[in-house]
Structure 1
Amino acid sequence: DRALAFNIAWILDPVVFGDYPPEMRRYHGSELPRFSPDERVLLRDSIDFIGLNHYASLYAKDCINSRCICNDSSCIQGSDRAIRGFVCTTTEQDGVPIGEPTGMSLSFVVPRGMEEIVNYTKKRYHNKPMFVTENGYSSPYKSFEDYQHDVKRINYHKSYLAFLAQAMRDGADVRGYFIWSLMDDFEWINGYSLRYGLYHVDPRTLNRIPKLSANWYRDFLRNSNSLNKNYI
């Protein structure tokens, strides 16, 4: 279940090290651009921190050295192979989902994934300062009451923050953490159907109504004594 952790290397390796991962060079060869020595120095000197957006984890299986059977078609040879990659991903194993479902079809609650991706980034990129720039939960329910009394969102952030704290205790240089999102907003192709916000936005009046999670996060930041007894 480390698919997302390893997936960041093709993005960050060129920026941090000035080259693509060896695995990519092995399979893509001359298809990939090369950086000059001056460009490598420029890239390395321009990076002050690494920002991680993390929501969920997936099971992954290699499509090159093992027989890959899953619903994803990325193991099928085709003209888009270079884009789709050489891995297939799935949300379940032996019919058992990787975690509790959320409002996003491929996003399941897997708190340990936070610790995994932070530790992987720490090790691969020599513990460069990190910020968790996005981490959030979209409710799978549709009723107004569920959006307001969003205990599952609170539990999501509690568990993900606990694994993040463990990674920090193990030495990860994490400087900040940002919840996605302050308010329910327009979520790209999903429009307003996904609601990640700590505040509900009334579509008729545009009034911003705090959810239970907004009060919980306020108390969390304040280290309030009421943190563990009022949010159930």
Structure 2
Amino acid sequence: MGENPTKRPAWRRQFSWNSFLRLPHCCTREERGIEPFVTLHHFDLPHEMETRYGGWLGAGIREEFDYYADVCFKAFGDRVKYWTTFNEPNLFTRLAYVLGKYPPARCSAPFGTCESGNSHREPYVAAHNMLLSHAAAVHNYKKNYQATQGGSIGIVIAMKWYEPLTNTTEDILAARRALSFEVDWFLEPIFFGDYPREMHKLLSSNLPKFTSEEKSLLQKNKADFIGINHYTTIYVKDCISSPCDLKAYEAYEANALVLATGERDGVAIGRPTAFDGYYDVPEGMEQIVKYVNQRYKNTPLYVTENGYSQHSNDTMDKLINDVERVNYLHGYLTCLSSAVRKGANVRGYFVWSIIDNFEWTFGFTV
């Protein structure tokens, strides 16, 4: 970036990147048959950023993210050909700033009872700063690194597929609105320079506005690829024409003013999994891939997460003879294959996860 090190903040100059930048090349990607996809931000944030800028609520964090991304491009760009700026920023902002369930745990009624926060405005401010951080990092990569390193850079979005609970106009529009708040919240600014119409209509002044310069930055630095994290499909019911129970506001889809449910007339939408509200509905994979492929101009797609959640206290026989997971993956890959045969520009697929991990606040129980 041509940055003068003496002009960096004192706290930043105290850390030396010299040894970090000279990490040894233990082996080549080709030798090991590994193609790394590196994510720059996956929920965690240094406490210094929270103290200094208020985390993603402060515009100053954009420059810090750009600097951090530059360090990574410079250090690893000779080996990394696929960069993701953010993983699931739409999920993160909801859980952290709407519902207050993940750090920094900010929210307000009726969505939650946190010590501080504003669920009606803060998630959209945080998302705004993340989008502009994404644009800055993409601009830097394309201007200074892409030609010599030969890589690409994109963003990964958590994507459920939503079906209307009933065939009423209200529920059909609710399903469309849920997709806007899930998928288009981040992708429409990146590809078209502004938030979706449904969000403008519902949020009004609580939705930040892009300046003409910011719109230009976003549109001139579109993502090279879109990552799709898809696990489930669920029904949604409209909560505007007929207000839903207050408990509905404590759910993941609450800010879209819809009620999500896995059942219709007492029948589950698919086989339940260990995660509450996640069902085995393979047809949703084809639907979400087709939606993104058509809406975002045939941009290359990667299914960056898809997998089956299972209780770890299941019987040993059930864990070893992993029939339910096999059936889940077979169904989803079959439907993904169908989307590809119909023209979807899908370049790759990752199963979540290849090894056991701490699954968020569930530890090893799931």
Normalised to the residue count of structure 1, the TM-score between the two structures is: 0.74
Partner in structure 2 of residue 59 of structure 1: 235
Amino acid at match of 1:21: P
Alignment partner for residue 73 of structure 1, among 248, 255, 266? 248
Within-5 A mapping of 1:55-204? 55-65=231-241, 67=242, 72-74=247-249, 84-140=255-311, 142-194=314-366
Structure 1's 69 and 63: CA in aligned 2 closer, same or farther, altered over 3 A?
A: closer
Amino acid at match of 2:189: P
* Structure with bigger RCO (C-alpha 8 Å, 6+ apart): 1
Structure 1's 70 and 155: CA in aligned 2 closer, same or farther, altered over 3 A?
A: farther
Q: In 1, are the aligned partners of 2:235 and 2:263 still within 8 Å (CA)?
A: yes
CA–CA separation in structure 2 for the residues paired with 1:175 and 1:89:
31
Q: In 2, are the aligned partners of 1:102 and 1:137 still within 8 Å (CA)?
A: yes
Give the unaligned 5+ runs of structure 2: 1-161, 164-174
CA–CA separation in structure 2 for the residues paired with 1:91 and 1:35:
36
Q: Which moved more, 1:91-100 or 1:41-50?
A: 41-50
Q: In 1, are the aligned partners of 2:248 and 2:254 still within 8 Å (CA)?
A: no
CA–CA separation in structure 2 for the residues paired with 1:32 and 1:138:
34
Q: In 1, are the aligned partners of 2:293 and 2:344 still within 8 Å (CA)?
A: yes
1:30 deviates by 1.8
1:70 deviates by 7.2
Amino acid at match of 2:295: R
Secondary structure of residue in 2 paired with 1:73: helix
Structure 1's 86 and 9: CA in aligned 2 closer, same or farther, altered over 3 A?
A: same
CA–CA separation in structure 1 for the residues paired with 2:183 and 2:217:
20
Query: How many residues matched?
Result: 188
CA–CA separation in structure 2 for the residues paired with 1:163 and 1:115:
5
Amino acid at match of 1:100: R
1:36 maps onto 2:208 in alignment:
no
CA–CA separation in structure 2 for the residues paired with 1:187 and 1:49:
26
Partner in structure 2 of residue 10 of structure 1: 185
Runs of 4+ aligned structure 1 residues displaced above 4 Å come to 3-6, 68-72
Partner in structure 2 of residue 230 of structure 1: none
Identical-residue share of aligned pairs (%): 44
Greater share of helix: 2
Select the structure of larger CA radius of gyration: 2
Alignment partner for residue 226 of structure 2, among 45, 50, 58? 50
Q: In 2, are the aligned partners of 1:5 and 1:117 still within 8 Å (CA)?
A: no
Alignment partner for residue 26 of structure 1, among 178, 201, 211? 201
Normalised to the residue count of structure 2, the TM-score between the two structures is: 0.48
